[in-house]
Chains A and B, each alone.
Chain A
Amino acid sequence: MLGTGLLQGLRVTARNLVGSFHDPKRFVTTQYPEERTKLPEAYRNFPFLVSESAEDPMGTLRCVACQICEKECPPQCIYIEKSRDKKPDANGKMQIFPAVFDIDTSVCMSCQICVEVCPFDAIEMDQVFELATTNRFEGLLLDKHALAKPNSYFHGIHPTEAAAVDGRLAAARKASEEKARAAAAAKAAPKPAPAAPAAAPAAPGAEAPKPSPPAP
């Protein structure tokens, strides 16, 4: 009949109007700066550097400045300078560390290739998106102090992935300890095994291969 369609439409909008006041399922808006939606675990953008402890992030960076990520990065937004000296890492082992580790987030395209190629699980994807600055050059160039975030933070944003990484690292550490023990036992034996201590810092990636290296 004439006008029934119009009335139906008016009914729908009226229901929406009333429903938005009492039905939270209808009213989906989050008041952003005050409230936040929980980001899905799979959400990722911009890499960060994982450190073992929150108190001393610079001393416990997993990164050993191997520069693989720098070479693999498609837009070449990573800049690394190796240190001259070594210092003990989280496991107390002497390692080279990155004297400079910069990521230019104005160039980074969040492709995650650096994360996939890292043999030390030292770089992971973050969930930050509030990177607005008043300076588009220095403000968007993050140095290692800005990039370093503790492992607990990683557990907070990507729990499944962080647990897998921790398991992998623990397995690698156990394997290397066993190897060292075996080498020490061999050393204690009459015939010394050559270059046993040198083999100890085996890369964790060697024992537990990561998902897949980027196909060329």
Chain B
Amino acid sequence: MSAPAQDSALERAPVLVRDWLTGFLPGQARWAANSLLDIIAILAVFGLLFAFLTLAERKILGRVQNRPGPNRTGWFGLLQPFADGIKMLTKEDIVPRAADPVLHFLAPVALLAFSILTFAVIPYGRDLVPVDLDAAVLYFFAASSGAELAVFMAGWASHNKYSLLASMRALAQLISYELPLLLSFVPVALATGTLSASGIVAAQSGWKWDLVPRWLVFTPWGAVAFAVFMVSALAESNRSPFDLPEAESELIAGHLTEYSGFKYALFFMAEYFGMCALSGMAVTLFLGGWQAPVAALEFIPSYAWFAAKLLALLLGFIWVRATLPRLRVDQLTRLAWKFLVPVALVNLGTAAFWSLSAPWEGPLQLLRWAVALALAAVPALLLGRGLSGDLGPRTYRYA
């Protein structure tokens, strides 16, 4: 069944094109050329995705608010991202006199570099992994947590109290949410027994009863881990409702306050790249990576399936942004430490039970599902009740 799908010309097109371009080169040079091609492809694809994602976000936010969104530049505003890019490029680049010029310049560069690094290990399709590391997921989280340093670098180098306060906030937020993000991944490693991204995708292949794909999100613990992962990913990429670091109503623009022109655009690019990378990782870990949901649809090439899932998650990000108001700092940290971390820890136990009970047969299957569902839902509901206990207006006793 899967053999013809693997061999179809469309499926093999990226690899064939690459081999056609670099096939004549000898050993080491060919490897270098292939890597260079990978880098160019990732930058081109995700650069364009970034451009049109900003447009899509503005259009969708507009539609949600019953207005058309940008529609003047090109057909339906399709050229708007390029107009924005030209505007950003031609703007004056202001570096405050008090700022540390080297760090001030390095911060957006470092942020962007770290977020691009994470793209290296995501399997975009069958045989489409730029770097197939054994510990790809570890590498991914290591690279993405480097972004936090860059955010703090930006706040520190600006020499501005708003920037510094905001970057400390950002740091608190990013470190808080790093933990549930990693903890929600641990059961995946436990269930699949590998840290390699392509290994995790391979572990999710096939269909149960030839119907339900064996994606991890369709297990009780997988659903919980996916939810925790997505909430943490929202916070990690500084997206609404966790966009506290750049809360313009209280902190001007947070760590971006002293940035202008293209450096500002780089921060935005890094934010969207981070969002894309985290969504790509979520697809890889929980949504079966590049695998088709139905066996009959396997003729559609794997990278198209990956793109479809990635876009669906990104639209979800935008949808959430259009809906939810921003959290307060105390609510934000409470959500991380009192809800997401405990839920993710309990979920580890659920996953352990699930993999231990894998050989159960017959009516024991029902028991397995019941216990796992209870383990997944009850702690979340109980913790959630405690979470919404005192969500009323905060009383400031000393202010």
Which residues of chain A from 1 to 27 have a CB within 8 Å of any chain B CB?
1-3, 6, 9-10, 12-14, 16-17, 19-21, 26-27
A→B interface (CB under 8 Å): 1-3, 6, 9-10, 12-14, 16-17, 19-21, 26-29, 31
A17/B64 in contact, CB under 8 A:
yes
- Name 29 A/B residue pairs within 8 A (Cβ), A-sorted: A1-B381, A2-B384, A2-B385, A2-B387, A6-B323, A9-B323, A9-B324, A10-B320, A10-B323, A12-B323, A13-B64, A13-B319, A13-B322, A16-B64, A16-B65, A16-B66, A17-B60, A17-B63, A17-B319, A20-B63, A20-B64, A20-B67, A26-B66, A27-B66, A27-B68, A28-B66, A29-B66, A29-B68, A31-B71
Count of chain B residues with a beta carbon within 8 Å of a chain A beta carbon = 19
Task: Tell which of A2, A13, A16 touches B380, judged by Cβ atoms closer than 8 Å.
Answer: A2
- How far does the alpha carbon of A6 sit from the alpha carbon of B71 in the complex, in Å? 30
A152 CB to nearest B CB, Å: 35
In-complex Cβ contact of A20 among B66, B320, B324, B385 (8 A):
B66
Taking CB atoms and an 8 Å cut-off, the chain B residues in 54-68 that contact chain A are 60, 63-68
Cβ–Cβ < 8 Å partners of A21 in chain B: 63
Q: Which 7 A-B pairs have the closest CB atoms?
A: A2-B384, A13-B323, A20-B63, A9-B323, A13-B64, A17-B63, A16-B64
- Chain A residues within 8 Å of B319, by CB: 10, 13-14, 17
Task: Determine how close the nearest CB of chain A comes to the CB of B377; give it in whole angstroms.
Answer: 9
Of B64, B320, B388, which is in contact with the most chain A CB atoms at under 10 Å from its CB? B64
A48–B254 alpha-carbon span in the complex (Å): 51
User: Which residues of chain A come closer than 8 Å to B66, judged between CB atoms?
Assistant: 16, 19-20, 26-29
For the complex, would chain B's binding face be called helix, strand, loop or mixed by DSSP majority? helix
- Residues in B with CB closer than 8 Å to A6 are 323-324
Question: Which B residues from 375 to 392 make CB contacts under 8 A with A?
Answer: 380-381, 384-385, 387-388
Could you say which residues of chain A place their CB within 8 Å of the CB of B63?
16-17, 20-21
Considering only residues 343-399 of chain B, those with a C-beta below 8 Å from chain A are: 380-381, 384-385, 387-388
| A3 contacts B384, C-beta separation under 8 Å | yes
Of B319, B322, B323, most buried by chain A (CB within 10 Å of CB) is: B323
CB distance from B240 to the nearest CB of A (A): 12
**Complex formed: what's the CA distance from A14 to B381 in Å?**
26
For chain B residues 286-345, which have a beta carbon within 8 Å of chain A? 319-320, 322-324
Cβ of B320: which chain A residues have Cβ within 8 Å of it?
Answer: 10
Having A2-B384, A16-B66, one finds 8 other A-B pairs with CB under 8 Å, namely A6-B324, A9-B324, A14-B319, A17-B63, A17-B64, A20-B64, A20-B66, A31-B71
B window 77-105: CB within 8 A of A: none
Hey, which chain B residues are within 8 Å of A26, CB to CB?
A: 66
Complex Cα gap A28–B323 (Å) = 20
Distance, CA A1 to CA B388, complexed state (A): 10
Give the Cβ gap from B272 to chain A, nearest Cβ, in Å: 20
User: How many angstroms between the C-alpha atoms of A216 and B388 in the bound complex?
Assistant: 62
Task: Identify which of A13, A16, A21, A26 gathers the most chain B CB atoms within 10 Å of its CB.
Answer: A13
Q: Which residues of A contact B68 (CB under 8 A)?
A: 27, 29, 31
Q: Separation in Å of the B260 CB from the closest CB of chain A?
A: 28
- By a CB distance below 8 angstroms, the chain A residues around B67 are 20, 27, 29
Q: Could you say which residues of chain B place their CB within 8 Å of the CB of A17? A: 60, 63-64, 319, 322
A3 to B388, CA, bound (A): 10
- Residues in A neighbouring B323, C-beta threshold 8 A: 6, 9-10, 12-13
Closest to A14 in B: B319
Least Cβ distance of A64 to chain B in Å?
A: 48
Complex CA gap A31/B68 in Å reads 9
